[in-house]
Amino acid sequence: MSWDQRTALVTGGSRGIGRSIALKLAQQGIAVAVNYRGNTAAAQETQDLIRSHGGQCALYPADVSDADQAQSLVNTVVKDWGHLDILVNNAGITRDTLVLRMRMEDWDRVIATNLTGVFACTRAALRPMLKQRFGRIVTISSIAGLLGNAGQANYSAAKAGVIGLMRSVAREVASRQITANVVAPGIIDTEMAHQMTPEAYNQLLSQVPLGRAGRPEDVADAVWFLVQADYITGQTLVVDGGLVMD
């Protein structure tokens, strides 16, 4: 089956990195199901952008932190398109503060969306992928999951968690020609990054060897690379301009 016969689901695909990933996949001929939680206007902009480039796109509202909604989301995509070949777990939120000031609801909400939501969507997507003996799962983590980040204990924990989750998934389903990988972006020029104070943003940017923030398209390119890769699974591809070097 060629790529123009494949279907992808991108969670949190209405803006930022998710929008760029959805557009990148659509440009390869892949039909893209764009999930979003509440910003209908932004989701519509993504759909219009994809269609203006000749791509196929449909919108699917759902809160992926709710396991029932995640399952229903996948079921609807499979019903509408006939199959689901690619899942990109991109939906994520932040609730930043220092550990001693962090409320349990701040912890719980970030873990629910950024970690439990990835689990729920992955579990739901695996059922059709196992039947068809093909699948690509790419999850967006962060360098915060590799390094930790002051003021982001909840976010860092969730982003570290998805790395372990994808490694476990990769081992469980490799025999069915399903791969599971992670992309860990560094500082990317998105609305979320600019929620940082200018001082913190510039201080972090000064540590990037390539001397600039990444673009959402840089992350999308990495996702597309992993979607195409037949012999890469259980890996974390860091897209950070050299900020983290093992």
> pLDDT tens for residues 39-94?
999 999 999 999 999 999 999 999 999 999 999 999 999 999 999 999 999 999 99
Catalytic residue among 36, 155, 201, 231: 155
Residue 200: its pLDDT value, please?
A: 78
35 in a structural domain: yes
Residue 46, CA distances (Å) to 25, 43, 181, 190, 196 in order: 13, 5, 25, 15, 25
Indicate the angle between helix axes 117-132 and 153-173, nearest 10 degrees.
20
Residue 193: its pLDDT value, please?
A: 76
For 10, the domain range is: 3-238
CA atoms within 13 A on the CB side of 166: 30
Whether the predicted pLDDT of 195 surpasses 80: no
Q: Which two three-digit tokens encode residue 114?
A: 């950024």
Is 231 in the active site? no
CATH number of the domain to which 101 belongs: 3.40.50.720
Residue 80: its pLDDT value, please?
A: 98
Amino acid at 235: Q
Determine what percent of the chain is predicted with pLDDT higher than 90: 91
d(C-alpha 134, C-alpha 122), whole Å: 14
41 in a structural domain: yes
219 in a structural domain: yes
Whether the predicted pLDDT of 203 surpasses 90: no
59 in a structural domain: yes
Residue 144, CA distances (Å) to 1, 9, 90, 94, 164 in order: 37, 25, 15, 12, 14
54 in a structural domain: yes
The strand pair at 135-140 and 178-185 is best described as parallel
Q: How does pLDDT run across 134-154, given as a tens digit for each residue?
A: 999 999 999 999 999 899 999
Q: Which two three-digit tokens encode residue 167?
A: 């490694």
Residue 245: its pLDDT value, please?
A: 87
245 in a structural domain: no
pTM: 0.96
Total count of domains within the chain: 1
The strand pair at 57-61 and 86-89 is best described as unpaired
Residue 216: its pLDDT value, please?
A: 97
246 in a structural domain: no
